[in-house]
Amino acid sequence: MKRILLAVALCAVHFASAQIRIIPQDVVRKAADIEVADNSLQFCPSSVDFGTIDEMSGVWQGGVKLRNLGADTLVVTQVKTTCGCLKAEPAKRLLAPKEELRVELKYYPRGHAGRVKQRVLVYTNRSSEKPSAVLNLTGMVTASQDRSDDYPYTRGVLRLRQEQVSFNGRERQVQRIACMNGGSTLLKPTVDGHFLPKGVRVKFEPAQLAPKQEGDIVVEYLPQGEGVELKRSVYINGLGIAPRESAIEIVIGK
C-alpha cells in the first residue's frame, strides 16, 4: 500500500512540473469577489507593503512564505497576478503537510506611478476555480521627472533610447528598448507581426502609454538552431506615420 501511495505522489509531482503555468493577468477579479478554496494554504504574512519607491529605481524584489497548514499534500498548479508589472515565482510546486516554501516577488514600477494595490493568487489541486491563497502587495510609486532628452531616437511621437537589439542566436534572450510617449494623446503601439523573424516575440510594457509615460519594448528571442544570422527591420503600428519611419532593427547572430 505504501508503495502505491508513493507512486501516486511521484506522478502528481511529475504532472505538476509539466503543467504548471505562471500567468500574469492584467484583469483578475477584485478582492471582494475572491473566495479562497479553503484555509489550508496561507501566505505568512498575508500582505506586503514595499513602502515608497521611485518609478525609475529599478525592479523591487522581495519574498514571502507560503505554508500548508492542512493534513494533505498540496500541489501548486497556477500562480496569477493582477498586473503584468508583478511577477511571483514559488520555489517549488509540492508542499507536504505543515511544510512551507518561499515565493519570490518582483515588481516593475516603471510606468506605474501612484498607489499600488496588486495581488498574487495561488491555485492548487484543491480547486482550479478558486485560489487557495491570496497575497496583497501595496506601496507607493512616485513619478519621475520628464527625461525626454534621455530618448534621442524618435518614431513619430514615440521616443526611444536605442534603435536596435542584438541576440547571439544560441540561447533564449530578452532585450528591452526603453521608450516614452512624447505626445499629448494616449498611444496603443503594437508591432507588425508579419515582419518578425522566426522565434522573435515583441510586446510593449505597458500596452498603453499615456502622454509622457515611459515603458519598454520587450523583445524575446527563442533559439531556432545553430548558425542563425540575420538583420531585419520590424515596424511599429499605431503611431500614425509611414512604416519605414517606424522601424526598429533586430540583429541575430554575428
Average pLDDT of the residues in 137-157: 85
Write out the residue range of the structural domain in which residue 214 sits: 148-252
Q: What is the mean pLDDT of the chain?
A: 84
Same domain, 169 and 128: no
Give the residues across from 116 on adjacent strands: 139
7 domain-assigned: no
Same domain, 213 and 164: yes
Same domain, 126 and 234: no
Q: Distance (Å, rounded) from C-alpha 172 to C-alpha 75?
A: 28
Q: Distance (Å, rounded) from C-alpha 202 to C-alpha 108?
A: 18
Quick one: pLDDT at residue 200? 92
Hey, what's the cell of 35?
A: 473566495
| Nearest alpha-carbon partner for 49 in 64, 39, 34, 38 | 64
**What CATH number is attached to the domain comprising 89?**
2.60.40.10
| Domains in the chain, number | 2
pLDDT more than 70, % of the chain = 85
Hey, what's the cell of 192?
A: 507588425
Strands 74-81 and 21-24: parallel
186 domain-assigned: yes
Hey, what's the cell of 116?
A: 499600488
Same domain, 153 and 138: no
Quick one: pLDDT at residue 33? 57
Quick one: pLDDT at residue 146? 63
pLDDT more than 90, % of the chain = 58
Quick one: pLDDT at residue 228? 79
Buried b / exposed e along 149-176 (16+ C-beta atoms within 10 A) = eebeeebbbbbbbbeebbbebeeebebb
Buried b / exposed e along 74-104 (16+ C-beta atoms within 10 A) = bbbbebbbbbebbbbebeebbbeeeeeeebe
- Is the Cα torsion angle 195, 201, 202, 208 positive or negative in sign? positive
> Which carries the bigger pLDDT value, residue 145 or residue 235?
235
> Which carries the bigger pLDDT value, residue 4 or residue 61?
61
What is the per-residue pLDDT across 53-97, written as a single tens digit (0 to 9) for each?
988 888 999 999 999 999 999 999 999 999 889 999 999 999 999
DSSP designation for 156:
T
Q: Distance (Å, rounded) from C-alpha 225 to C-alpha 227?
A: 7
Give the residues across from 186 on adjacent strands: none
Quick one: pLDDT at residue 206? 93
pTM: 0.51
* Strands of the 86-90 sheet, one edge to the other: 41-44, 60-68, 100-107, 86-90
In the listed set 121, 142, 163, which residue is the last one of a domain according to the structure? 142
Query: Quick one: pLDDT band at residue 21, thresholds 50, 70, 90?
Result: very low
Using CA atoms, how far residue 7 sits from 11, 92, 97, 248, in Å, is 6, 19, 18, 53
DSSP designation for 149:
G
Query: Quick one: pLDDT band at residue 224, thresholds 50, 70, 90?
Result: confident
What is the per-residue pLDDT across 94-144, written as a single tens digit (0 to 9) for each?
999 999 999 999 999 987 888 999 999 999 999 888 999 999 999 999 877
pLDDT at 2 exceeding the cut of 80: no
Quick one: pLDDT at residue 20? 40
pLDDT at 152 exceeding the cut of 50: yes
Same domain, 137 and 172: no
Query: Quick one: pLDDT band at residue 253, thresholds 50, 70, 90?
Result: confident
Same domain, 178 and 110: no
In the listed set 126, 142, 158, which residue is the last one of a domain according to the structure? 142
Q: Distance (Å, rounded) from C-alpha 237 to C-alpha 193?
A: 10
What are the residues whose beta carbons fall under 8 Å from the beta carbon of 18, sequence distance 6 or more?
Answer: none
pLDDT at 185 exceeding the cut of 60: yes
